[in-house]
């Protein structure tokens, strides 16, 4: 990661990212596995989105495929190494990346796409000891048919074929697939590591940094996204003001908050999660005060109704404007009911 002239942070695609931060324990684990030749056929790297799982999958893949590795140090492979270049360009004969296709504006890994790797896994390795398949991410495998196709590949793949599977929501991964994989958890990065990392770029003040830490939930990728779009911080403060004063709000106040939403800068899920974060923060404070149970119930009801609307949005592919109108109605309804 580096600071750009435009006073933003450059977000580097995992394929070309040579940096890896915050997970020395996982790096040491795989160095030991490789040193002792105990690599398994399939691993699921799971944790919140943007934490570095795909970056690590590419880092580990390059190390395994490279002829220039040092088992006593780390998994770093120079950008000048031919393997780094061919993996980054997806031209390495022993490396396959499976990622989602945009199907009617819905990100998905199709059964047909998964079937393309079935014949490839049985082919002889061209340059390396292993053939590596990275799936980014299994969360984009939506249908049971697609899941069964992946399961069959995992069950039948040869010993020198290694799967690194990315998951942002492991509870959604079918148990049959999880049972075939070694699960590696990427825990959220703690706040002190975050602060040390971002202080070197001098992009935001201490107050804004606390907002970033609150909203990123330990995800480096999310933190960078927030810093690059100051809309997040505006939405954070405006939603805090609205939720704190929900007894006095009207439609104009709600419209003022929602006018900050811009799908090019902040996705709708993130926008609503900021509002939910402010509601949950209020609930925690009220519980500490211990004498306003009716308000706790009020905010809990609002929180879960927003959650239900979000689930409808995911399940029935509602238009974003429809979802926003539902949330506006919920906020206005609850303000009048308090």
DSSP 63-110: HHH-SS--TTS-S---TTSHHHHHHHTT--TTEEEEE-EEETTEEE--
pLDDT digits (tens, 9 = 90+) for 18-56: 877 778 899 999 999 998 889 999 999 999 888 889 999
Q: What is the pLDDT of residue 246?
A: 87
Q: Residue 125: which H helix or E strand, with range?
A: none
d(CA 107, CA 142): 9
Considering the domain architecture, whether residues 159 and 246 belong to the same structural domain is answered as: no
209 domain-assigned? no
Output the CA–CA distances (angstroms, integers) from residue 331 to 117, 174, 236, 250, 334, in the order listed.
48, 36, 16, 9, 5
Domain with 279 in it: 229-337
Could you tell me if 260 and 238 are in contact, meaning their C-beta atoms sit under 8 angstroms apart? yes
Weakest mean pLDDT among 114-118, 128-132, 268-272, 273-277: 114-118
Residue with the two structure tokens 């324990």:
25
Dihedral angle of Cα 277, 271, 109, 99, to the nearest 10 degrees: -90
72 domain-assigned? yes
Considering the domain architecture, whether residues 159 and 76 belong to the same structural domain is answered as: yes
Considering the domain architecture, whether residues 170 and 238 belong to the same structural domain is answered as: no
Considering the domain architecture, whether residues 72 and 175 belong to the same structural domain is answered as: yes
8 domain-assigned? no
Q: How many of the other CB atoms lie within 10 Å of CB of 241?
A: 15
322 domain-assigned? yes
197 domain-assigned? no
Structure tokens at 305: 């109704």
- Per the prediction, the chain carries an average pLDDT of 84
60 domain-assigned? yes
* CATH number of the domain encompassing residue 107: 3.40.50.300
5 domain-assigned? no
The pTM (predicted TM-score) of the whole model is 0.78
Considering the domain architecture, whether residues 167 and 100 belong to the same structural domain is answered as: yes
Handedness of CA 270, 273, 275, 277 (dihedral sign): negative
220 domain-assigned? no
Q: How many of the other CB atoms lie within 10 Å of CB of 212?
A: 23
Q: What is the pLDDT of residue 338?
A: 62
Considering the domain architecture, whether residues 273 and 175 belong to the same structural domain is answered as: no
| Domain stops at, among 124, 157, 185 | 185
Output the CA–CA distances (angstroms, integers) from residue 54 to 111, 138, 158, 308, 309, in the order listed.
22, 12, 23, 30, 30
Which residues, 6 or more positions from 213, have their beta carbon under 8 angstroms from its beta carbon? 191, 194, 195, 223
Could you tell me if 148 and 180 are in contact, meaning their C-beta atoms sit under 8 angstroms apart? no
Q: What is the mean pLDDT of residues 301-330?
A: 85
- Which 3 state secondary structure label does DSSP give 43? strand
Considering the domain architecture, whether residues 248 and 310 belong to the same structural domain is answered as: yes
- Which 3 state secondary structure label does DSSP give 162? strand
The number of distinct structural domains making up the chain is 2
Q: Is the pLDDT of residue 7 over 60?
A: no
Q: Is the pLDDT of residue 104 over 70?
A: no
Considering the domain architecture, whether residues 52 and 118 belong to the same structural domain is answered as: yes
Q: Is the pLDDT of residue 16 over 50?
A: yes
| Domain stops at, among 149, 167, 185 | 185
Classify residue 138 by burial, with Cβ atoms within 10 Å: 0-12, 13-18, 19+.
buried
| Domain stops at, among 126, 158, 185 | 185
Considering the domain architecture, whether residues 41 and 159 belong to the same structural domain is answered as: yes
Dihedral angle of Cα 94, 143, 264, 312, to the nearest 10 degrees: -160
pLDDT digits (tens, 9 = 90+) for 160-204: 899 999 999 899 899 999 999 999 999 887 888 777 777 766 667
Considering the domain architecture, whether residues 145 and 241 belong to the same structural domain is answered as: no
Q: How many of the other CB atoms lie within 10 Å of CB of 173?
A: 20
Considering the domain architecture, whether residues 172 and 52 belong to the same structural domain is answered as: yes
d(CA 51, CA 56): 10
Considering the domain architecture, whether residues 180 and 268 belong to the same structural domain is answered as: no
Question: Which residue pairs from 73-81 have beta carbons closer than 8 angstroms and sit at least 24 positions apart in sequence?
Answer: 74/27, 74/31, 75/20, 75/27, 75/30, 75/31, 76/18, 77/18, 78/18, 79/16, 79/18
């Amino acid at each position: 990661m580096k600071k750009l002239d435009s006073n933003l942070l450059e977000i580097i695609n995992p394929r070309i990212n040579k940096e890896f931060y915050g997970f020395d324990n996982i790096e040491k684990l795989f160095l030991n596995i490789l040193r002792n030749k105990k690599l398994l056929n399939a691993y699921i790297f799971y944790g919140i989105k943007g934490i570095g799982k795909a970056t690590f999958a590419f880092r580990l893949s390059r190390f395994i495929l490279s002829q220039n590795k040092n088992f006593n140090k780390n998994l770093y492979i120079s950008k000048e190494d031919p393997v780094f270049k061919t993996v980054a360009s997806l031209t390495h004969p022993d490396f396959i990346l499976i990622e989602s296709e945009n199907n009617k504006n819905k990100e998905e890994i199709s059964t047909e796409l998964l079937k393309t790797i079935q014949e490839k896994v049985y082919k002889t390795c061209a340059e390396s000891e292993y053939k590596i398949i990275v799936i980014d991410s299994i969360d984009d495998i939506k249908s049971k048919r697609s899941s069964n196709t992946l399961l069959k590949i995992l069950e039948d793949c040869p010993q020198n074929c290694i799967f690194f599977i990315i998951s942002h929501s492991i509870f959604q991964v079918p148990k049959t697939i999880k049972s075939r994989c070694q699960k590696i958890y990427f825990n959220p990065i703690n706040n002190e590591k975050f602060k040390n990392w971002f202080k070197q770029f001098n992009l935001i003040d201490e107050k804004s940094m606390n907002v970033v830490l609150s909203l990123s939930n330990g995800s480096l990728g999310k933190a960078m996204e927030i810093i690059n779009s100051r809309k997040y911080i505006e939405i954070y403060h405006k939603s805090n003001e609205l939720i704190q004063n929900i007894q006095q709000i009207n439609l104009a106040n709600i419209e003022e908050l929602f006018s900050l939403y811009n799908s090019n800068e902040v996705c709708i899920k993130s926008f609503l999660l900021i509002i939910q974060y402010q509601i949950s923060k209020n609930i925690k404070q009220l519980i500490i005060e211990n004498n306003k149970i009716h308000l706790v119930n009020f905010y809990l009801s609002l929180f879960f109704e927003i959650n239900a609307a979000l689930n409808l949005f995911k399940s029935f592919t509602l238009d974003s404007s429809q979802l926003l109108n539902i949330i506006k109605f919920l906020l206005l309804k609850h303000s009048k009911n308090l």
